[in-house]
Structure 1
Amino acid sequence: MRILLIKMSSMGDVFHTFPALSDAQQNIPGLIVDWVVEGAFSEIPKWHPVVDKVYPIELRKWRTSLFRKQTRQEIKAFFKEVNQTDYDLVIDAQGLLKSAWVARKINAKIAGYDWKSAREPLATLFYDSKCSVAKNQHAILRLRQLVAQGLGYVLPENAPIVYGLDTQAWSKPQLVTEQFAEHEYWVFLHGTTWDTKYWPESYWIELLKKVNALGKKVILPWGNQEEHERALRITSSLEGQNNPSGRKVWVPPEMLSLNDMAKTLKNAEAVVSVDTGLSHVAAALEVPMVVLYRVTDPKLVGADGSEVVRLESPCAPDYIKKFSNHNQEIESLQGLSVDDVLSALLEKLKG
């Protein structure tokens, strides 16, 4: 059986889909999955062994230049390529009008969420098979239930999350080996989108010092100039960093590629992360990790998995993009102290 999965973005959504593929692979012998995904994430789907073809789609670019001849030609060529393969089923795992539009242009029957389950109910008008999936569940469970219903098998209640990625052969990137040789290391994922989701630099510095005192080395990766500067400030709190042989913390001189970042996370002993896309990567790679939810609620879309510990402040359910006063800012750090984080991670590492 060969199916086509449509799950185009975002990074977290893509990683949330893997447990559903692991379920399907276990329940349907010989299953092959092809995947339509945004070009920026096209290297990710093949990390799962059930995935064969990946079709990078430039939907965001197309929407800004829909009336250009070149865009129309690209759209035509894209769907011509996809339709060269015969599919037993297309599963729209996003439940949006844009994903339903993509699904409808494939020559196969379509399964998706029903009217009460889809994020954009009008999308369900395009589906041949409609699946009822309660909305008040984590995105991972919703996807597992959707795929199970679409393919006709029963998902056991409380079935453990298995990402099932084929990463056994992944070794440390050469850059990491050059810095730390065979020493174990931790990764601090300090970068995120909203200012209110950041963990204070003073907290990172204190945590870094305590982790170094335990004999652990730390990597501070970054994804833009602001994050690079923050990583350097945190690093500058330690003395003796100009001596490579005694290096306890490393800031990569260049932004790591997604593949190198994933391999760095996979081979880490532990990870501490704020609410960011890379926390979903580490969760899928089953690395012991503590994730800090200062102003966002992890119950529906947070990083999840067997090795994930989630710490939430009292403000986590409120989705605060700007603090209304200083007291609220202080409240948003309750339960997220350095000692809270370190003790939670050390407990996780004990197994």
Structure 2
Amino acid sequence: MNTRNFRIAIVRLSALGDIVNTAVALQIVRKHYPDATIDWYVEEAFAPLLQDHPLLHEVITVPLKRIKKTKSFQLLRETIHTLKSHPPYDQIIDAQGLLKSAIVTSFLKGKKHGFDRNSAREKLAARFYDTASSIPYEMNVIKRNVLVITEALEIPYREEDIVEKKALFPIQEKPQWLNEKAVACVIGASWPSKCYPKEQFAEICSALSHPCYLVWGSEQEYQDAHWIAQHAANAVITPKMGLRELVSFIAHCDLVIGNDTGPTHMGWAMNRPSITLFGPTNERMIFPTDINIGIKSPSPVNILKIDRNDFSIRDINPSVIIQKAKELL
């Protein structure tokens, strides 16, 4: 196939962890389509993560959350007009499998590919595609993301491409406030039941010899970080960071310990050692390596029907995390 001037659109609107776990496909696509134009459609809040990415031609923001919040019909009309105005693509790939991402895909011109009815998170999404991949929803999320993109582009799947990846995002200079040796502790998450207790995080910090930098993104997380810093002498509260600052911070840390959430997954993305803690979710959410491991609570998980009231993450003994952290350090 002549890949010169081949135009590819990837639709992955949110969330941070899902975007991180999809970006590995860019390196794979570029190996097979070195001259292609690759655009990424993303929610505007997450666009800074992808801006100026060397493997992307354009990052196109889609303000769905702002449309929902403001209920602005004018903004909706402008967004649809913008989507329809882009030149045709040779291949459009919905790597999210939600109704909202499928609708965004439908406004773009070109051949559309996504997850089939039995693979998509929301079955109705499959009606918007010309072709579809059958990839079990229970499969590892990074493999799923890579497979739906590589199958759309007829690229052979090689797990080595994931294992041997380079850092997924550009790295800025090391933050001036960061010590030579550092552990990042990601204490928040999207659901309370995914959060490891602050008391146990303080115990982990106190047991490690390196400074432990507490990453926070909301007022509640800041209050929890303040509590941990009061109870662990080597715990340090980070400044509030934008996404690009967060990437560079993680890239300069020696270890990331955190809940199942985007900033923790950034450790794997930037080839840094990481420990991801799981309660209501499981290791399906990471790509385990020698330096990127998961620790799961004892509770069973039905990935098709996640129990958000499963607070079993509290049952993970801090000593297990401390031991693994010392090994990785």
Unaligned runs of at least 5 residues, structure 2: 1-5
Residue 152 of structure 1 pairs with residue 138 of structure 2 = no
Paired position in structure 2 for 1:274: 259
Give the 3 Å change call, closer, same or farther, for CA 94–321 of structure 1 in structure 2: closer
Residue 10 of structure 1 pairs with residue 15 of structure 2 = yes
Structure 1 residue 107: Cα displacement: 1.8
User: Helix, strand or coil: the match of 1:17?
Assistant: coil
Structure 1 residue 45: Cα displacement: 2.4
Paired position in structure 1 for 2:187: 190
Give the 3 Å change call, closer, same or farther, for CA 155–308 of structure 1 in structure 2: same
Give the 3 Å change call, closer, same or farther, for CA 317–73 of structure 1 in structure 2: closer
Structure 1 residue 232: Cα displacement: 1.6
Aligned mates of 1:341, 1:136 — CA distance in 2: 26
Contact 2:195 2:313 (C-alpha < 8 Å) held by counterparts: no
Measured against aligned partners, the alpha-carbon deviations of 1:112-156 in whole angstroms (never above 9, x if no partner) come to: 222322223333232222222232211211121111111012113
Residue 128 of structure 1 pairs with residue 130 of structure 2 = yes
Give the 3 Å change call, closer, same or farther, for CA 52–163 of structure 1 in structure 2: farther
Give 1:202's match in structure 2, choosing from 193, 199, 224: 199
Aligned mates of 2:308, 2:76 — CA distance in 1: 38
Structure 1 residue 59: Cα displacement: 1.6
Contact 1:282 1:289 (C-alpha < 8 Å) held by counterparts: yes
User: Helix, strand or coil: the match of 2:162?
Assistant: coil
Aligned mates of 2:158, 2:72 — CA distance in 1: 47
Contact 2:168 2:270 (C-alpha < 8 Å) held by counterparts: no
Unaligned runs of at least 5 residues, structure 1: 240-247, 324-328
Give the 3 Å change call, closer, same or farther, for CA 42–269 of structure 1 in structure 2: same
Aligned mates of 1:279, 1:18 — CA distance in 2: 15
User: Helix, strand or coil: the match of 2:48?
Assistant: coil
Paired position in structure 2 for 1:298: 283
User: Helix, strand or coil: the match of 1:91?
Assistant: strand
Structure 1 residue 234: Cα displacement: 1.4
Amino acid of the residue matched to residue 297 of structure 2?
A: S
CA RMSD of aligned residues (A): 2.5
Amino acid of the residue matched to residue 311 of structure 1?
A: I
Normalised to the residue count of structure 2, the TM-score between the two structures is: 0.87
Measured against aligned partners, the alpha-carbon deviations of 1:188-236 in whole angstroms (never above 9, x if no partner) come to: 111223333332333222211211xx3x112112112222122122111
Contact 1:273 1:292 (C-alpha < 8 Å) held by counterparts: yes
- After TM superposition, list the pairs within 5 Å mapping 1:243-262 onto structure 2: 248-252=234-238, 254-262=239-247
Amino acid of the residue matched to residue 71 of structure 1?
A: L
Structure 1 residue 283: Cα displacement: 2.0
Amino acid of the residue matched to residue 152 of structure 2?
A: G
Amino acid of the residue matched to residue 236 of structure 2?
A: W
User: Helix, strand or coil: the match of 2:147?
Assistant: helix
Identical-residue share of aligned pairs (%) = 25
Structure 1 residue 332: Cα displacement: 4.7
Contact 2:250 2:256 (C-alpha < 8 Å) held by counterparts: yes
Contact 2:47 2:61 (C-alpha < 8 Å) held by counterparts: yes
With 311-320 and 263-272 compared, the bigger mean Cα shift is at: 311-320
Paired position in structure 2 for 1:309: 293
Amino acid of the residue matched to residue 74 of structure 1?
A: E
Amino acid of the residue matched to residue 284 of structure 1?
A: A
Aligned mates of 1:199, 1:169 — CA distance in 2: 28
Structure 1 residue 80: Cα displacement: 4.8
Contact 1:206 1:338 (C-alpha < 8 Å) held by counterparts: yes
Paired position in structure 2 for 1:217: 211
Aligned mates of 2:22, 2:170 — CA distance in 1: 20
Aligned mates of 2:281, 2:168 — CA distance in 1: 31
Measured against aligned partners, the alpha-carbon deviations of 1:217-266 in whole angstroms (never above 9, x if no partner) come to: 12112112222122122111246xxxxxxxx43213x4222222221111
User: Helix, strand or coil: the match of 2:139?
Assistant: coil
User: Helix, strand or coil: the match of 1:42?
Assistant: helix
Paired position in structure 1 for 2:308: 321
Amino acid of the residue matched to residue 139 of structure 2?
A: Q
Amino acid of the residue matched to residue 317 of structure 1?
A: V
User: Helix, strand or coil: the match of 2:267?
Assistant: helix
Contact 1:18 1:48 (C-alpha < 8 Å) held by counterparts: no
Contact 2:213 2:235 (C-alpha < 8 Å) held by counterparts: yes
Paired position in structure 2 for 1:245: none
Give the 3 Å change call, closer, same or farther, for CA 126–322 of structure 1 in structure 2: closer
Paired position in structure 1 for 2:113: 111
Number of residue pairs matched?
Answer: 320
Aligned mates of 1:280, 1:97 — CA distance in 2: 25
Give the 3 Å change call, closer, same or farther, for CA 125–37 of structure 1 in structure 2: same
